[in-house]
Chains A and B, each alone.
Chain A
């Protein structure tokens, strides 16, 4: 069991659908991350939240919209996605973004766009 919980584990959606991915941690971490991972490739950073504020957006298309309602939760809202957005979406957290701390990852949401 991981300390970072992601839901759902699998998601299939059409290009016109709107859905959300959720991530939760109760370790008191103040930095949370979204990564995208294609098959047989390393994770690519999408967003970083530090103390519930967006710190980094790695030029991610606006069809991905992150939200951090509180220090334990991180959402990724999806709208009008493309087939190439099919991937594993990983959430991670760390104690603090300003000092280099180990990142704890969730099990990911496997997203398929039809």
Chain B
């Protein structure tokens, strides 16, 4: 079992829909990254959070440390949001510093 699990693995939505991507982890973490990877390959850092909630434009990320769970929400989805969304965590063990442990990603397709 992976230390970081994402669901769903694949998601198709129509333009305008509200989208939720989930990330659960089984280890102690100090922070969590949400990343976006477009088909060309480049990765964009969307959020880094260790508690509560962050918002940027149409994107909202939440984390519940006690439940070891984070969600990424996209409001008013658009075809340009089509990408792979990756959850990655910084483990809280000493000595691992900035090493990220990645989830397997959620492939999102938004259609017109």
Q: Please give the residue numbers on chain A whose beta carbons come within 8 Å of chain B beta carbons, in ascending order.
A: 2, 31, 37, 40-43, 45, 48, 56, 88, 90, 92, 94, 96-108, 110
Contacts and interface: CB of A to CB of B under 8 A. Distances in A.
B76 interface: no
Contacts, number: 60
A105 B44 contact: yes
What's the dominant secondary structure at chain B's contact region? Answer: strand
B102 interface: yes
Interface of B: 30-31, 33, 35, 40-45, 48, 86, 88, 90, 97-100, 102-105
A90 B98 contact: no
Nearest to A108: B41
Given A2-B44, A99-B97, A105-B43, 13 more contacts: A42-B86, A42-B104, A45-B99, A45-B100, A56-B99, A88-B41, A90-B41, A90-B43, A100-B48, A103-B33, A103-B45, A104-B45, A105-B35
The 9 closest A-B pairs by CB, nearest first: A107-B42, A42-B102, A105-B43, A108-B41, A102-B48, A100-B90, A97-B98, A88-B41, A102-B45
